Amino acid sequence: MNLYEYQGKELFAQYRIPIPKGKLAVNRSDAVGYALQAGFPVVVKAQVLTGGRGKSGGIKVVKNEAELDRAVDDVFSLRIKGFAVEKVLIEEGVNIDKEIYMSILTNRATEKITLIACGQGGMDIEEVAKKDAAAVLKMDIDPLIGLRSHHFLKLFRHLEISDQSVIYQMKHIAGKMYEMFNELYLSLVEINPLIITSGKRVLALDSKTVIDDNGFPFLKEMERFANQDDKNRDEIDAKNANLSFVALDGDIGCIVNGAGLAMATMDMIKHFGGDPANFLDIGGSSNPDKVVNALKIITRNPRVKAILFNIFGGITRCDDVAKGIKEALLKSPISLPIVIRLTGTNQSEGVEILKGLKLPATSSMQEAVKMAVEKCGGVK
C-alpha cells in the first residue's frame, strides 16, 4: 500500500527523521489559514498517490500573502495523472543548499535490502540513472548483518559530504530509515529530496513510503492509513469478504474462480487490447454470497465499464454462481454490461438461471473476453 506524503512524514516524525513543520488541510480556507499561521515563505503541496507533483504544478512555494489565495486555488484545482487534489500539505518554506536522493527498498534481483543514494536529488531518479549510471550509488545490505560503518563510508564518499554535523545527521536519518523499513514491513522508503539547508540542517522534504501488504496482520496500528483511497478500501472490504482481490487501473471488472484462471483472464484481456480493473479470485467454494460481495465492490468503482465473469466449474458450481448473480441483481440492479463465461459443473442449470435474467452466457473464454473488451470501447 502506498502512503501519502503526509502519512509517510507522520512515520518519519515517529522515527525522529527531521521534517519541516507542516499541517494537512482538506479545504481551501483551512489551507490559507494554516499558511498564514506558518508565515512566509510557505509551501503548498498537493497530496496525491503519484510522483512528479513538482513538474505538474502541485508544489507551490508562496513568498507572500498576496500570492497565497491564488496558489491554494491552483493546487486544489489540479488533476495530477488523473488524481484530483483533495488534500494539501502546508509546510514552512526552507532554504535549500543541496538536494539528495535516498531510498531503501526490497531488491528482488539480489535478494537483499538495497540502499540507493544520489547527489542529484529532487529530480526523477530513473532519468538521472539513465543519463549517468555512476551518479547513482546502490549498496546491497545483508539483512542478517544490517547497515554498517562501511556502508556509511561509501555513502558519504559518494555524496562528497565531509561536514561533521551533516555526516552525523545523515547517519542518524539513514539508520532510522533502515529501522523503519524493517519494523514496519516496508518495501520502499524514499526521501527525494533529502535536503541540506543553508544552515546545515538535514531535512526530509518529501516522502514516498510503500508498506508490504503482507505485513498488515502484524501491524494493526498501520490500518489507520488504509481506507484513505478507494483502491485500498476495496482491497480491505474484499479481504473481509474472504475474496482474493487486487485493485488495478483498468475498466473491466473481473470475477473469476481460481487464482490461475484469474491471472489467465487478465492476460487474455491484455492480449485483446483491454485493461482489467482488478484481479479477483472468488475461490472454490459454492457460496452465492461471494458473488454478491464481489459485485458490490466492483460496481462501486467509477472506472468500471463492464463486468466479466469467467467461471470454470469444478468444485465451484455454475448454478451457485448464477444464483449469486441473480441475488445481487435482485438486491441492486446493475446497469453495466455483464459478460459471462460459464462452463463445467452444473453448467446447464447455471445457463437456465441466467436465461431467466436475460443474461446470455458463453462457454468460450476467448469469446467472453473479446466481448468484454468491446463493451469497454475496444482496443486501448
The item of ligand GDP, Mn ion, none sharing an interface with residue 59, based on CB under 5 to 8 Å by kind, is: ligand GDP
Quick one: which segment of 28-36, 54-62, 103-111, 331-339 binds ligand GDP (CB under 6 A)?
A: 54-62
Per the annotation, the verdict on 190 as an active-site residue is: yes
Give least dist CB 83 to Mn ion, A. Answer: 15
Q: Which one among 18, 57, 93, 337 touches ligand GDP, defined by CB under 6 A?
A: 93
Q: How many CA atoms lie within 13 A of 97 on its CB side?
A: 10
Per the annotation, the verdict on 6 as an active-site residue is: no
Give least dist CB 87 to ligand GDP, A. Answer: 14
Nearest CB to ligand GDP, comparing residues 54 and 175: 54
Nearest CB to ligand GDP, comparing residues 51 and 283: 51
Examine residue 215 and tell whether it contacts ligand GDP (CB under 6 A): no
Per-residue string for binding with ligand GDP, 34-53, x by CB under 6 A?
Answer: ---------x-x-----xxx
**Edge-to-edge order in the sheet of strand 59-62:** 22-25, 88-92, 42-46, 59-62
Give least dist CB 192 to Mn ion, A. Answer: 4
Closest-CA residue to 241 (of 294, 316, 300, 317): 294
Q: What are the phi and psi torsion angles at 317 (to 5°)? A: -100, 135
Nearest CB to ligand GDP, comparing residues 67 and 352: 67
- Size of the chain in residues: 380
Residues 186, 209 contacting (CB under 8 angstroms):
yes
3-state DSSP assignment of residue 348:
helix
Give least dist CB 210 to ligand GDP, A. Answer: 15
Q: Which residue has the cell 538535514?
A: 202
Nearest CB to ligand GDP, comparing residues 91 and 235: 91
Question: Diameter of the chain by CA atoms?
Answer: 78
The item of Mn ion, ligand GDP, none sharing an interface with residue 311, based on CB under 5 to 8 Å by kind, is: none
Q: Which of 6, 101, 178, 235 is catalytic?
A: 101
Long-range contacts, 66-71 (Cβ 8 Å, 24+): 68/32, 68/35, 68/36, 68/42, 69/32, 71/44
Examine residue 94 and tell whether it contacts ligand GDP (CB under 6 A): yes
HEC string for 163-175: CHHHHHHHHHHHH
Examine residue 206 and tell whether it contacts Mn ion (CB under 5 A): yes
Residue 131, classified by CB atoms within 10 Å of its CB into exposed (0-12), middle (13-18) or buried (19+), is exposed
Q: Name the packing angle between helices 347-356 and 318-331 (round to 10°).
A: 20
Give least dist CB 75 to ligand GDP, A. Answer: 12
Per-residue string for binding with Mn ion, 157-196, x by CB under 5 A?
Answer: -----------------------------------x----
Q: What is the C-alpha to C-alpha distance for residues 237 and 30, in angstroms, rounded to an integer?
A: 31
Q: Which of 5, 91, 99, 190 is catalytic?
A: 190
Nearest CB to ligand GDP, comparing residues 45 and 326: 45
96, amino acid identity: I
Examine residue 293 and tell whether it contacts Mn ion (CB under 5 A): no
Looking at residues 164 to 203 of the shown chain, list those that interact with ligand GDP (rule: CB under 6 A): 192-193
3-state DSSP assignment of residue 69:
helix
Q: What is the C-alpha to C-alpha distance for residues 276 and 259, in angstroms, rounded to an integer?
A: 15
Nine-digit cell string for 365: 473464454
Interface with Mn ion by CB under 5 A: which residues? 192, 206
Interface with ligand GDP by CB under 6 A: which residues? 43, 45, 51-54, 59, 61, 91, 93-94, 96, 99, 122, 192-193, 205-206
Catalytic residues, which ones? Answer: 101, 190
